[in-house]
């Protein structure tokens, strides 16, 4: 039997802290959420981000553009938001429709308002460990480990997946916390031989049942970042939860693990940005 890393509950305590800090400091953090086109998944994500903000006393403003608005119009909106002192965080919901360069759009966001931490300036700052923001998903994983007193120092952490938004920053954050880190990806032969060495295993791939019990060292901490749908349309991760749960010491559920932590981290980043803006003016 393992201990469930209850991201839903931990995220609620983080949201409470954010709410209290907004109340007591009198800060008035503002998040701009930019959505382009009619992607139904993006609409769900944007609505939940706005709801989270409302629950914590963070102002959110939505900027909805039609898919055919064009890159120039989108860049003009971002430019306007960059110059608004009452907006502390700018989030452009990805993916963008065809015809938009995501890189160009992300690089147009002022780095000090880039609460997703996707701007190259922020990516670089994470590399050297001197950052203003951390990307929400890997930061959420770190906050969850911290909450349960799981210290990566000296541990062998295996991260499966090397995307720019999850796998790579996750590996870097674990490295900054003095873990020995191995990154695996689609060209890694004999994945199980490596995952079996992990004291802390982070799966961030997007493949149902990729990680089975025989690939996990007994007593390992297993963090499942993925959000997949199984053959019945049910939300699930990369980890075969019923098989792995008895082998692991700690494990995240899907849903209710990393997902709520990701959402909570966006609120923390927006609050941090509002605080930094005050400090700059002081």
Binding mask 129-168 for ligand NAP (x = CB under 6 A): --------x----------------------xxxx-xxx-
Q: Which is nearer to ligand NAP, 180 or 209 (CB)?
A: 209
**Residue 27 binding ligand NAP, by CB under 6 A:** no
Q: Which is nearer to ligand NAP, 97 or 255 (CB)?
A: 255
- The single-letter DSSP state of residue 279 is H
Q: Which is nearer to ligand NAP, 30 or 259 (CB)?
A: 259
**Residue 88 binding ligand NAP, by CB under 6 A:** no
Which helix (H) or strand (E) segment holds residue 277: the answer is helix 258-281
Instruction: Give 7-27 as a DSSP string.
Output: HHHHHHHHHHHHHHHHHHH--
Of positions 258, 265, 266, 268, contacts ligand NAP by CB under 6 A: 258
Residue 253 CA: distances (Å) to CA of 76, 162, 227, 258: 41, 21, 11, 8
Rounded least distance, CB 65 to ligand NAP, Å? 23
Which helix (H) or strand (E) segment holds residue 241: the answer is helix 241-244
Residue 239 phi/psi, 5-degree rounding, is -95, 135
CB of 138 closer than 8 Å to CB of 166 = yes
Of positions 11, 171, 259, 271, contacts ligand NAP by CB under 6 A: 259
Q: Which is nearer to ligand NAP, 50 or 275 (CB)?
A: 50
Of positions 187, 231, 242, 282, contacts ligand NAP by CB under 6 A: 187
Of positions 176, 227, 245, 256, contacts ligand NAP by CB under 6 A: 227
**Residue 266 binding ligand NAP, by CB under 6 A:** no
**Residue 253 binding ligand NAP, by CB under 6 A:** no
**Residue 188 binding ligand NAP, by CB under 6 A:** yes
Q: Which is nearer to ligand NAP, 64 or 191 (CB)?
A: 191
Q: Per residue in 61-97, is it b (16+ CB within 10 Å) or e — as a string? A: eebebeeebeeeebeebbeebbeeeebbbbbbbbebe
Q: If you search the block for the tokens 């963090």, which residue do you land on?
A: 223
Number of neighbouring beta carbons within 10 Å of residue 3: 12
What is d(CA 239, CA 223) in angstroms, rounded to the nearest whole number? 9
Q: What is the contact surface with ligand NAP in residues (CB under 6 A)?
A: 137, 160-163, 165-167, 184-188, 191, 204-207, 210, 225-228, 258-259, 262
């Amino acid at each position: 039997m393992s201990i469930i890393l209850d991201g839903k509950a931990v995220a609620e305590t983080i949201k409470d802290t954010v709410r209290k800090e907004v109340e007591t400091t009198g800060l008035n953090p503002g998040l701009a959420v930019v959505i382009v086109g009619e992607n139904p998944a993006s609409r769900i994500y944007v609505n939940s981000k706005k709801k989270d903000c409302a629950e914590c006393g963070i102002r959110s403003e939505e900027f909805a553009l039609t898919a055919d608005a064009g890159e120039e119009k989108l860049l003009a909106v971002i430019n306007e938001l960059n110059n608004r002192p009452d907006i502390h965080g700018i989030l452009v919901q990805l993916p963008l429709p065809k015809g938009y360069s995501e890189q160009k759009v992300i690089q147009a966001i002022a780095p000090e308002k880039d609460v997703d931490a996707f701007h190259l300036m922020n990516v670089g700052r994470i590399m050297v460990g001197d950052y203003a923001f951390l990307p929400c998903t890997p930061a959420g994983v770190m906050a969850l480990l911290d909450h349960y007193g799981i210290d990566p120092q000296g541990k062998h952490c295996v991260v499966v997946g090397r995307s720019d938004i999850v796998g790579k920053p996750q590996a870097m954050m674990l490295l900054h916390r003095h873990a020995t880190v191995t990154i695996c990806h689609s060209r890694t032969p004999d994945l199980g031989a490596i995952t079996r060495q992990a004291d802390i295993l982070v799966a961030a791939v997007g493949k149902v049942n990729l990680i089975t019990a025989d690939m996990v060292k007994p007593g390992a901490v297993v963090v499942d970042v993925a959000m997949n749908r199984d053959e019945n349309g049910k939300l699930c991760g990369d980890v075969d939860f019923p098989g792995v749960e008895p082998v692991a010491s700690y494990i995240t559920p899907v849903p209710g693990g990393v997902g709520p932590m990701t959402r909570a981290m966006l609120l923390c980043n927006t609050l941090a940005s509002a605080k930094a803006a005050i400090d700059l003016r002081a």
